[in-house]
Amino acid sequence: MNAAAPTESPARAAIVDIQHGLATSGYIASDAIATVLYLARALSKPVLVEGPPGVGKTELANAAAKLIDKPLIRLQCYEGLDESRALYEWKYGKQLLYTQVLKEKLGDLMAGAQGLKESIARLHEFDDTFFNEEFLEPRPLLKALWAEHGAVLLIDEIDKSDQEFEAFLLELLSDYQISIPEIGTVRAKHPPLVFLTSNNTREIGDALKRRCLHLYIPFPDYKLEQRIIESRVPELEARLRTQLVSFVQGLRGLDLKKVPAVSETIDWARTLVLMHANELDTQLVRQTLNVLLKFQDDIENVDAEIPALTRTANKS
């Protein structure tokens, strides 16, 4: 986005490329975002993305998947998420069914066996029938490791999961491998590009942070937000866009419970397009404010400020 330095380094060139690539799929990336993508691929490290809700953390993974043309595999974290949901599960039903079916075959199999010892010895030959990959139901993490041509793995809202789960992820994040007791170690054919997102509802452990690159996405500044809206809601005319963005930027300066994020700005822009508005005025803002602010308290508190905010927005 910045003018390239006079002597452009190969790294800078790659980063500018990434920015362009992301822009084609509608994601306007700041320098920091593009840099982290570049580093993640160069160093083959996972990326931990933090920032307030609604600034495009999850969207980043989507855009990155499109950029490198790999499937996106998503794991939504929640309290109580465990490995049978995240990694793998045995297909118990199938195992059970097979046991029942095989029971009838057992007689044939054992025909001619002399005594218990020999029968058991013969059974041992079929030892691992029920615990091999046939009966394994892969969950997102295992799917990402198994992916034929690599993948983008998004572990969303890692802060919602338990600490145990965080510890369980460490092996995956540092070596791109996972140990399954019954089978052994599964190693990724192509290390997936991993994104972890967090809203900071709790502090993420140091061990996990150490293994990741850390990206903090703040609210975008005036220019960047303009470009984002321009790319997302191209129908909106330029003058209204400037007004809208500077209004939202002004709103973020106030003391609110929940500050409007980029996603809200986009929603608002769409709303204004639908309403065929061509200029921001107090009346219009009052009508549509509930798109931007999600708490009644906030809406009431802001009410007095609306005329002033609208005026400054219209001047810009």
Partner 1 sequence: MTQALTHFIKALRAADVRVSTAESIEAAATLETVGFGERTLLKTALSQVLAKSLDDKARFDECFEAYFSSRALDGERTPRAAADDPDAEADSTPDGLAAEGAGGGGSGGGGSGEDSLLALLERGDGASLQQRLAQAAFNVQLQNIRLFTQRGMYIRRMLEDMGIEQVEELLYQLIKRDDDDPRAERLREAKARLSEDVAAHVDQQMLLYTANAGRQLREEILQKTPLARVEMRDFKVMHELVRKLAKRLVALHARRRAVARRGRLDVRHTIRRNIEYDGLLFDTVWKRVRVDRPKVVAVCDVSGSVAQVARFLLMFLYSVSEVIPKVRSFAFSNYLGEVTELFETQPVETAVTETINRWGMGATDYGGALAELERLTLDDIDHRTTVLILGDARSNYSDPGERALRRIHERARRVLWLNPEPHQLWNTGDSEMRKLAAACDRVEPCRSLRHLERVISEIARTAV
**Contact residues: partner 1, CB under 8 A:** 2, 5, 7, 9, 11-12, 15, 31-32, 35-36, 39, 42-43, 45, 48, 50, 79-80, 90, 92, 96, 99-100, 103, 162-164, 203, 206, 209-210, 212-216
Q: Which is nearer to partner 1, 127 or 206 (CB)?
A: 206
Question: 12-48 b/e with 16+ CB inside 10 Å = b?
Answer: bebbbebbebbbeeebbbbeebbbbbbbbeeeebbbb
Q: Which CB sits closer to partner 1, 215 or 306?
A: 215
CB of 185 to partner 1, least distance (A): 21
Q: Tell me if 109 sits within 8 A of 122, measured CB to CB.
A: yes
Which of residues 131 and 146 has its CB atom nearest to partner 1 in the complex? 131
Residues 88 and 136: their CA atoms lie apart, in Å, by 7
**Cβ neighbours of 261 (radius 10 Å):** 20
Q: How far is the CB of 39 from partner 1 (least distance, A)?
A: 6
Cα–Cα distance measured from residue 169 to residue 178, given in angstroms and rounded to the nearest whole number: 9
Please report how close the Cβ of residue 17 comes to partner 1 at its closest, in angstroms. 14
Of 50 and 156, the one with the shorter C-beta distance to partner 1 is 50
Q: What are phi and psi of 226, to 5 degrees?
A: -55, -45
**Helix (H) / strand (E) containing 66:** helix 57-68
Nearer to partner 1, 166 or 298 (CB): 166
DSSP string, 20-61: HHHHHTT----HHHHHHHHHHHHHT--EEEE-STTSSHHHHH
Q: How far is the CB of 34 from partner 1 (least distance, A)?
A: 9
Q: Which amino acid is at 265?
A: T
- Phi/psi of residue 228, each to 5°? -60, -45
Nearer of residues 216 and 239 to partner 1, judged by Cβ = 216
Compute the least distance from the CB of residue 49 to partner 1, in Å.
Answer: 10
Nearest approach in angstroms of CB 142 to partner 1 is 18
CB of 303 to partner 1, least distance (A): 29
Q: How far is CA 12 from CA 3, 5, 216, 232, in A?
A: 11, 8, 20, 26
Closer CB to partner 1, 143 or 209, in the complex: 209
